[in-house]
A and B are shown apart, each in its own frame.
Chain A
Amino acid sequence: MIPVTHYLALAAILFVIGTCGVILQRNVLTMFMCIELMLNAVNLTFITFSRFLNQLDGQIFVLFVMTVAAAEAAVGLALIVILSRRADSLDVDQANTMKW
């Protein structure tokens, strides 16, 4: 029987890795993927507590998080397409002006 702490620790580690990626990476696409990674780590926590507390509500929340992640991916990738069209680069350090 695996203690619930192991699942939570794994989720925390994945979340921290995702955070490091968002801060370290310069490529907008990879940063965005790291955000998805963080969302996934949170999902793992939800499922673990759903199991631990013996209630299904956590799984419902995971479904909502996944839906929001899909919507976020659509809008975010649209923004990235605009950014690369305007700045001709995917480097976030290049995108340092408020207005073109």
Chain B
Amino acid sequence: MEYFVFYGLATVAVTAALVVVLMNRAIYSALALIVCFGAVAGLFFQLGAQFVAAVQIILYAGAIMVLFLFAIMLLDPQSEKLSPDRLKQVPFLALPCAAFLAFVLVQMTFQWSAGTSAPSVVQTSGSLQMDGNTESLARLLFRDYLLPFEITSILILSAVLGAVVLTRRPE
């Protein structure tokens, strides 16, 4: 059951990500990206991070993607084909990407098959830290990480001001 859920969500996520990359129209990419975020939110849920999964749906699929859709509707980008000179770069792109992926996979396989079997995602029951609920997360966020949290508000404020100043039409 667990495997079915994981591989189903993983297939959906990877397929949607490929659609994002390969589509010519930005609107299709945006819709596929929402599907991908939804699948990853399901994985978060499976990993016991319920609050983060909900935030993922609300913030990414709700706020950021709506912003993207606004921009797409506003700017109405014509369909841009992947240009030939870009496609010529594919070998130069494929090599480092394949090397990176191979490195990561081999590293993980060997490192954890050398000793014991690959560590499973542990299912803890009694741990207070890891019940994944909002309460312990909030306790950590507002106590240990209070200063970064406050600095985040300054970041958002400056981002809002920056966006307003940048898009203002010159008189």
Q: Which residues of A contact B (CB under 8 A)?
A: 1-10, 12-14, 16-21, 23-27, 29-30, 32-34, 36-37, 40, 43-44, 47-48, 50-52, 54-57, 59-60, 62-64, 66-75, 77-82, 84, 90-91, 93
Contact = CB atoms under 8 A, between A and B. Distances in A.
Given A64-B152, A93-B83, A33 B33 contact: yes
Interface string B63-79: 11001100110110100
A89 to B, nearest CB: 8
A17 B18 contact: yes
B64 A69 contact: yes
Chain A residues touching B, majority SS? helix
Given A50-B49, A54-B124, A66-B59, 13 more contacts: A19-B97, A27-B80, A29-B68, A33-B29, A47-B43, A47-B47, A50-B47, A51-B48, A54-B127, A63-B52, A68-B155, A71-B158, A81-B71
Given A30-B26, A56-B129, A60-B140, A25 B82 contact: yes
A3 B120 contact: yes
Chain B residues touching A, majority SS? helix
Given A1-B120, A13-B101, A54 B52 contact: no
A17 B29 CA distance: 13
Contacts, number: 230
Interface residues of B, number: 82
A77 B17 contact: no
Given A20-B93, A77-B68, A84-B75, A36 B33 contact: yes
B20 A80 contact: no
24 contacts: A2-B6, A4-B119, A8-B104, A9-B104, A13-B101, A14-B14, A14-B17, A30-B20, A33-B20, A37-B33, A40-B40, A40-B60, A43-B44, A57-B140, A63-B52, A63-B141, A71-B155, A71-B156, A71-B159, A73-B68, A75-B159, A81-B71, A82-B167, A84-B75
